[in-house]
Structure 1
Amino acid sequence: MERFTSHGGYAPQNYAVSSTRETWSHDGALLDVSISIPSAPGKRPVVFYLPGMGEGAANGELWRRQWAQAGYVVVSMQPKEYGEASLANKQGGAGDPGSPGRTAFSEAVLKNNVSQFLWGLGKIADRLRSGNERYAPLDLSRVALAGYDLGAQTVLRLAAAPKGLPVPSPVSAFRAVIVMGAPVATFSGKVAGDIRMPLLLVGNGRPDNPAGASAPEKSAWLGLPAGQKYWLSLERASHRLLSGSMSNGSYWSEVIDVDSSERGGRAARGRPGYDGVTGATSSAGGDWLRATDTAYGSGQTPVEYDALGGASSRGGGRSRNSAPSGGNRGSQRNTGDRSRQDIESQARAARQMAIVASVTTAFLDATVQASTEAHDWLAEEASSWLEDYAQWLQR
C-alpha cells in the first residue's frame, strides 16, 4: 500500500486491528456479524458494511481491513438466509446467481434486510449502553454506511429515508454512504431524490451484476441531488472486483476477468475451491496487495506485478504456495503459458483494488471526520492519480 500511495494516492493511518465474528439470532432469524476494531485511542467512528448476495460477514475483507486500519470500527452484517450457503441451499443450485439475484433484489427482501440491519444496530447500541467493554470504542454519533451488491441496495434505502427509520440512540444520523456494485435500478425515482447525505458510488459501468441492471450507471449518479456526490467508475473491471473479497486462485481469476460472469464465474461458486464459506481466510490484511501473488491453477503467477503495473523486483517464478522446485512440474504454469493480456489484467485489477481502498478511505475521512486533507485530495488530486484505470466525477 505504501508503494502505491507514495505515487500520489491518499495515505491514511495504519493501526493494528482485532476482529471477532458472531452469529446473532432474533425471531427465528440469524444475523452473521463481524466486528473489526482498530488500536487507535479514544472513541472511533463506525462504518457498517453490508456484503453482497451469497457472501458472509467476513467477505469484503480488502475494504474492511483498510478502513479499520485507518481508524474506523467496521461492523459487517449479513442475514444468514442470503449469506454464504444461500445460493446452494435456497436459490436453485450452487453457483447460479442469475435467477436468485433477481429474487434477492425484490422489495420484500429489501424490507427484510433493512429490518435486520436496524435490529443489529439496536443490539450494538444496547451493548454500548450496558457498558460492554468490547463496544466502548464505538462512537455511534459518527456512523457511515457501505455496501456491495445486495448490501448496496440496502444501504441506499437506509440513506434515502434516514428520518423515517427507527434508528436507536445514540445514532443521530448516518453521515455518509458508500455504494459499490449496486443494481442501477435502485437509484430510480424517489430513492435517488431523497439521498441528501454525501455519497460515493463505486462501479464499473457494466450491466453484469446479478440483479440484471441495465440502466446507465452515470445516469443513475446524475439523478442524485448535487452536493458531495462522487462517482468512481473502474475501467474494464468485473463486478466481482468491487466485492473486495480475495480468498483463492479461482476467485481471483473471476476478479481479473471481466467476462467471467458469462463464462466461468457461475461455476466458481460450486467448486470446492470457492471460499464463500470461509471468506475471511485471506491473509491480505495490511499488505493486501499480495493479491498479485495469488494462485493461478496450482499457485504459479506468470510474473509478479506491483500495484503500479510494473514488474516486481522479486522475479516471476513461484508464489509462496506453489510446488517446490522439481515437484509436479507438469501441473504448473509458467510465464510462457500465460498471455500478455492475462498479465496486464492481473496488474490492472491489483491497481484498481488499491484505487478503491484509497478513494473510499479518503471519502470516509472527508465526510465522517471532516478531514480537510482528505477533502482537498478528493477535489484536487484524485482525478489525475487514477490515470486511465478509472473515471472520477464529483458534484
Structure 2
Amino acid sequence: MLNACSSRPTLPGQEEQFEKLQQAMQSGAYRPAGNFELDSARDRWLHDGVELDVEMLAPKAAGSYPLVIYLPSIGEDAGSGRLWRESWAKAGYAVFSVQPVEIAQALKQLEAERKFDLPDADELAAPAEADEDGGPGREPGGESWFGEKRPRQSRSARSSELHYVGHQYFAPDRLQSRLGHLYWAYRQLKLRAEMRAPVFAAADFSKVVLAGYDLGGQTVSAAAGEAFAGDMPGGGDLQSVAAIVLSPSVDLAEGQVRGRFQKLTLPMLSITGSEDNDPYAISSAPVRTALWEYAPAGGKYLLLLQGGGHKVLAGSELGGRFAAAERRSEAALAEGIPMAAGRRRGGMGGPQAGGSSWFGGSRTEETRRDQGYKHVAAVIGTTTAFLDMVVKNDEFAHAWLQEKANPWLGRSGSLKSR
C-alpha cells in the first residue's frame, strides 16, 4: 500500500509536454503581437563581497526594449523562471534576472545531506515512503558506520529545516541586503548598456517593470513600497512603472496587514493559487491575496489559479509534472489508501469521497490531466497581457484582461481587478 502511494508515473517527454502547453494556449489565450528570436548573456558580478548571478534575455532584432527585472526565490539561480522570462522576451521585452549566489545555493547543503527534492507544503503531509521490504524508507546509497543504510530523514525533520531556512531569508535584515544588491545591479546594468555591451544594450530604462517569485516577490513588494520593519534602502534611479508578484509573501506575524500595503500605488499583478502553500510555513494560500485586497485600488489585478500550488508559479515546468502529481495521488485513492489528514479537502487540497475532483467539483479525467498545462498557460498569457497593457498601452491587451481572460480561464482560475 505504501509503495503504491509513493509510486511515480512516468512524465511525458519534453516535446509532448510542449505540445500540450501549446494546446492550452489556444482557443482564447492572449497572444502578443511579436514573437522574437532571443539572445542571452550570463555573468557573475561582485557587490560588497557577495557574488551575484545575472542573466539577460532580449530579442535578437536590433532595438530598445522595455526592461523587466525578474527576482527568483530561495534555491533558484538567475536562470530560473525561464518559462516566464522567455515568454516576455519573445513578446518584445529585455528581461534581466539577478540572484545572490548564496541564496541560489541556500538549499544545496540540505539536498546533499538529506537527498530530497524541495517539497510543496502538501507533500510534507504525505505518508512516508517505504522500501521494498515495507519498512521505513532509507537514504539511497548511504550507509552508516555499521554497514547499514541510513534511515531516510522524516518529513517533519525536513519541514523543520525548511522552516528555519525560510524564516532566515525572509527576515527584514536579509530583505535589506537583497534590495541593496538589486539597486546596485540595476546601476551596473545601466553602465553596461551605456557601453553598448551585447544583449545588455537592448534595455530601455524609461520603462522598467519589477517581477519576482516567492522570496523575489517579497523583494519586489518592498521595492514597490510595502512597509516592513526597519529602514529599507532607497531605490535611487530605479523607478518602476509596474510590478508582477508571483506567490506574494504575506507574513501575518509582521502585523499591520491593512496598513503596510498603502504605498503600493503602482499597477500590480498578483498571482497565486488556491493551494499556494510554501514549504517554509511563512505564507499560506488564503492570506496571499492580501496584497491585492489592501493595496490602493487602481491598476491592481489578481490571478487566482483554482487548485494551483506553489511550484507551478516558479516557471520551471511545462505542466506535466503537476498533472503527474495529481495522477499519483488519485492512484493511491484507487488502491484504497487513505490520504493524510492534511490533504483532504478543506485541509491541503485533497478530494473528498463522492466523486468530487481535486479542484472543487466534478470533472472529466481529461480536464484534470491537463490542469497543470492550463495553469502555466494562464500565467504566461496574463502576465504578457499585463505587460503589454501597462508598458505599451496596448488596447487589445487591456480588452483581453477585462473581457476575455475569465471566459478563457474557465474553471482553471479567475482574474479580478480593482
Whether the aligned pair in 1 keeps the contact of 2:221 and 2:245 (CA below 8 Å) is yes
State whether structure 2 residue 246 is matched by structure 1 residue 180: yes
Give the Cα separation in 1 of the matches to 2:96 and 2:369.
Answer: 30
* Structure 2 CA distance for aligned equivalents of residues 46 and 81 of structure 1: 25
The residue type paired with residue 52 of structure 1 is S
Q: Give the paired residue count.
A: 309
Question: What is residue 281 of structure 1 aligned with on the other side?
Answer: none
User: 1:109 aligned to 161, 164, 174, which one?
Assistant: 174
**SS at structure 2 position matched to 1:222:** helix
Is 1:349 the counterpart of 2:372 in the alignment?
yes
| Counterparts in 2 of 1:149 and 1:218: CA distance versus 1, 3 Å | closer
- Cα offsets for 1:261-318 (capped at 9, x unmatched): xxxxxxxxxxxxxxxxxxxxxxxxxxxxxxxxxxxxxxxxxxxxxxxxxxxxxxxxxx
Which position in structure 2 is the counterpart of 1:335?
A: none
Say whether residues 1:209 and 2:232 are aligned partners. no
CA offsets 1:57-77 (integer angstroms, 9 cap, x no match) = 111111011001001011111
Name 2:78's counterpart in structure 1: 57
Q: Aligned partners of 1:143 and 1:93: how far apart in 2?
A: 40
Which of 167, 188, 193 is matched with 1:128 structurally?
193
Moved more, 4-13 or 357-366: 4-13
Q: Which residue identity lines up with residue 119 of structure 1 in the other structure? A: W
Alignment-derived partner of residue 237 in structure 1: 308
The corresponding residue for 1:140 is: 205
> Which of 51, 55, 58 is the aligned partner of 1:37?
58
CA contact (8 A) 1:36 1:75 kept: yes
> Paired residue for 1:363?
386
Q: CA deviation at 1:205?
A: 2.9
Q: Do the aligned partners of 2:195 and 2:201 also contact (CA within 8 Å) in 1? A: no
Within 5 Å, give how 1:80-99 maps onto structure 2: 80-83=101-104, 85-89=105-109, 95=118, 96=158, 97-99=162-164
Letter in 2 for 1:226: A
| 1:252 CA displacement | 5.4
1:356 partner amino acid: V
The 1:258–1:49 alpha-carbon spacing in structure 2 relative to 1, beyond 3 Å, is: farther
SS at 2:35 equivalent: coil
Q: Distance in 2 between matches of 1:351 and 1:20?
A: 30
Residue identity opposite 2:244 in structure 1: I
Residues of 2 paired with 1:90 and 1:108: CA distance?
Answer: 23
Letter in 1 for 2:94: V
Counterparts of 1:183 and 1:258 in 2: how far apart (Å)? 25
Once the two structures are superposed, the pairs formed by residues 326-337 of structure 1 within 5 Å of their partners are none
Query: In 2 relative to 1, CA 106–113 (structure 1 residues): closer, same or farther, beyond 3 Å?
Result: same
Indicate the larger mover: 220-229 or 124-133: 124-133
Question: Against the structure 1 CA distance between its residues 207 and 74, is the aligned structure 2 distance closer, same or farther, given a 3 Å change threshold?
Answer: closer
The structure with higher relative contact order (CA 8 Å, sep 6+) is: 2
SS at match of 1:237: strand
Partner of 2:89 in structure 1?
Answer: 68
CA separation in 1, counterparts of 2:86 and 2:198? 22
Separation in 2, partners of 1:107, 1:93: 28
Q: Distance in 1 between matches of 2:308 and 2:93?
A: 27
Cα shift at 1:204:
0.6
Give TM-score scaled by structure 2 length: 0.68
CA separation of 1:108 and 1:345: change in aligned 2, threshold 3 A: farther
Q: Report deviation, 1:88.
A: 2.6
- 1:79 deviates by 0.9
- Structure-2 residue corresponding to 1:228: 299
1:200 aligns with 2:221: no
Matched residue type, 1:205 = S
- Report the Cα distance in structure 1 between the residues aligned to 2:167 and 2:86, rounded to whole angstroms: 30
Post-superposition shift, 1:137?
Answer: 1.5
Aligned partner of residue 177 in structure 1, secondary structure: strand
Q: Secondary structure at the match of 1:136?
A: helix
- Secondary structure, aligned partner of 2:264: coil
CA distance in structure 2 between the partners assigned to 1:34 and 1:226 by the alignment: 34
Q: Which amino acid aligns with 1:188?
A: V
* Corresponding residue for residue 400 of structure 2: 377
Alignment of 1:278-293 (within 5 A): none
Offset of residue 46 of structure 1: 0.6
Give the TM-score taking structure 1 as reference length: 0.71
Percent identical across equivalent pairs? 31
Contact 1:236 1:258 in 2 (8 A): no
The separation in 2 between residues aligned to 1:131 and 1:241, in whole angstroms, is: 36
SS in structure 1 at match of 2:241:
strand
Counterpart secondary structure, 1:184: coil
Are 1:19 and 2:40 an aligned pair? yes
1:246 Cα shift? Answer: 2.6
Q: Structure 1's 133 and 39: CA in aligned 2 closer, same or farther, altered over 3 A?
A: closer
Change in CA separation of 1:243 and 1:3 when aligned onto 2, cut-off 3 Å: same
Whichever residue aligns with residue 86 of structure 1, its letter is A
| Range 218-227 or range 91-100, more displaced | 91-100
Contact 2:30 2:400 in 1 (8 A): yes
In structure 1, the residue corresponding to 2:400 is in which secondary structure? helix
The one-letter code sitting in structure 1 at the alignment partner of 2:69 is F
Distance 2:56 2:287 in 1: 35
**Whole-Å separation in 1 of the counterparts to 2:114 and 2:47:** 27
